Homo-oligomer: A and B are copies of this chain.
Amino acid sequence: MREKADSDLVRRQNRLLLMEALRQHGAMARVEMGRHTGLSPASITSISSQLIADGILEEDTAPHVPSEGSHRRGRPTTQIDFNPKNANVVAVKVSIDGLELALADGRGAILARRTSRTATYDADPTAFGKLVADEITALLAKARVPARRVARVGIAVQGVADSQAGTVVWSPAFRTRNIAVSSVVEERLGIPCRVANDANMIAEGLIGSDRAGYGGTAAVVFMGYGVGMGLIINGQVYHGPTGAAAEFGHMNHLPDGPLCRCGRRGCVEAYVADYSLLRWASGNAATQPPSFNAIPEAHMLALEAAAHRGEAAAVSAYAKAGEALGFGLARIIAILTPSRIVLAGPGTRAMALIAPHLNRALEAGVVDELRRNVAIEVVPIDTDMIIKGTIDRALRHVDREIFAHGPPLKRGRELENIA
């Protein structure tokens, strides 16, 4: 209801619809496209042949493999999928102890990876953009893909990212604030680049893999070294005015609570993140500053074991985390009444220790009627979900841009004469 509708909008919308179906369900025949999009077979033929002519899609040339239940009569289907060579994308995940990169083709298949260990926290912030650009260059060199074949770079980072400005506003991975990234990468490589919050990318990945399951309003909480949240509102990841939304980890739980890495006191993260759990267990959390170092998984496993053995300090750390998480979620529920809350990340390993306190806090924190309509569940998430989500989002962006300025483009007039 925002935009004026004309034949151009119809064109764009239906093409996107078709490509969206393809992203969602993978290669499919024209008939299936019809089922997914509601378009008539005639239109599907017309649209798909145009997209194939544009090099965006391609027909599966593989000789029809008679799979399992293929005892069907009639003309066999021809599968159609994205042309993998049409557009590549690069995803970069920034963590406290290094960068993780992946190059994907137009279908989202990962072609090459690269990891670099660099302590980002104390490094020169002005050099960070250059570092990312150099790492991408190295990745592309390794995969023998020229930069001009890459349509987009997506960068996922913990903390507050301003995707409009292309900066990392604040992140526990850096001492400094407002670090420019997008502009540097764009200048050096000539590839459009986007910075986003890592938890949002997980949400993006979940939507990408199961649109029906995350169709309405849902919150995805990622617990681990930090606490992140991706918010799905009406089936779309909510990015807020500047792209810096859903900072659940830095939502206050208690005024004058323990110090958080963001510099405030009493944030949810200051109770629930790995470093916070260790800090509680070590005793003097109220005054002790937060740690900015990477925490080996072994430390967390040891803490969990201690809690399971019943050691008071460890047990109480998880109790505090459960309470903070519960009240935090209660507040989210009061405001947004999501129909689903998904807990994920390494922090959920200790769910058995956390759950009772979480539930008690939820009961105390929000009216029954609202609480009863939300399903809270723990979902095991592939560590790679951030990379996958970033790739997914980048590809969908590329899809959208194809038709962004799309005038009817009178290509292929000559072809009509052939017929």
Complex interface: chain B residues within 8 A of A5 (CB)? 5, 9-10, 13-14, 17
Given A10-B5, A247-B334, residue A169 in contact with residue B369 (CB < 8 A): yes
- The listed residue with most B CB atoms (<10 A of its CB), out of A39, A217, A241, is A241
Complex interface: chain B residues within 8 A of A370 (CB)? 160, 244, 247
Q: Is A367 an interface residue (CB 8 A)?
A: yes
**In the bound complex, do residue B245 and residue A336 qualify as a contact, i.e. CB atoms below 8 Å apart?**
yes
**In the bound complex, do residue B6 and residue A10 qualify as a contact, i.e. CB atoms below 8 Å apart?**
yes
Q: Is A131 an interface residue (CB 8 A)?
A: no
Complex interface: chain B residues within 8 A of A38 (CB)? 4
The answer for the CA separation of A5 and B7 in the assembled complex, in Å, is 9
The answer for the CA separation of A240 and B373 in the assembled complex, in Å, is 11
**In the bound complex, do residue A331 and residue B20 qualify as a contact, i.e. CB atoms below 8 Å apart?**
no
Complex interface: chain B residues within 8 A of A254 (CB)? 254-255
Name the CB-closest residue of B to A260.
B367
Identical chains bound together, number: 2
**In the bound complex, do residue A369 and residue B251 qualify as a contact, i.e. CB atoms below 8 Å apart?**
no
Among A75-83, A105-113, A261-269, A381-389, the stretch that binds chain B is: A261-269
Interface size (A, Cβ < 8 Å)?
A: 64
Q: Is A327 an interface residue (CB 8 A)?
A: yes
Q: Is A185 an interface residue (CB 8 A)?
A: no
Q: Is A86 an interface residue (CB 8 A)?
A: no
- Further 19 A-B residue pairs, CB within 8 A, beyond A177-B369, A240-B336, A264-B366: A3-B13, A4-B37, A4-B38, A5-B10, A6-B10, A216-B241, A240-B338, A244-B337, A244-B369, A247-B334, A247-B367, A250-B367, A251-B366, A252-B331, A254-B254, A255-B364, A255-B365, A262-B367, A331-B331
- Identify the A interface with B (CB < 8 A): 1, 3-7, 9-10, 13-14, 16-17, 20, 37-39, 160, 169-170, 177-178, 216-217, 229, 231, 233, 238, 240-242, 244-248, 250-252, 254-256, 262-265, 323, 327, 330-332, 334-339, 361, 364-367, 369-370, 373
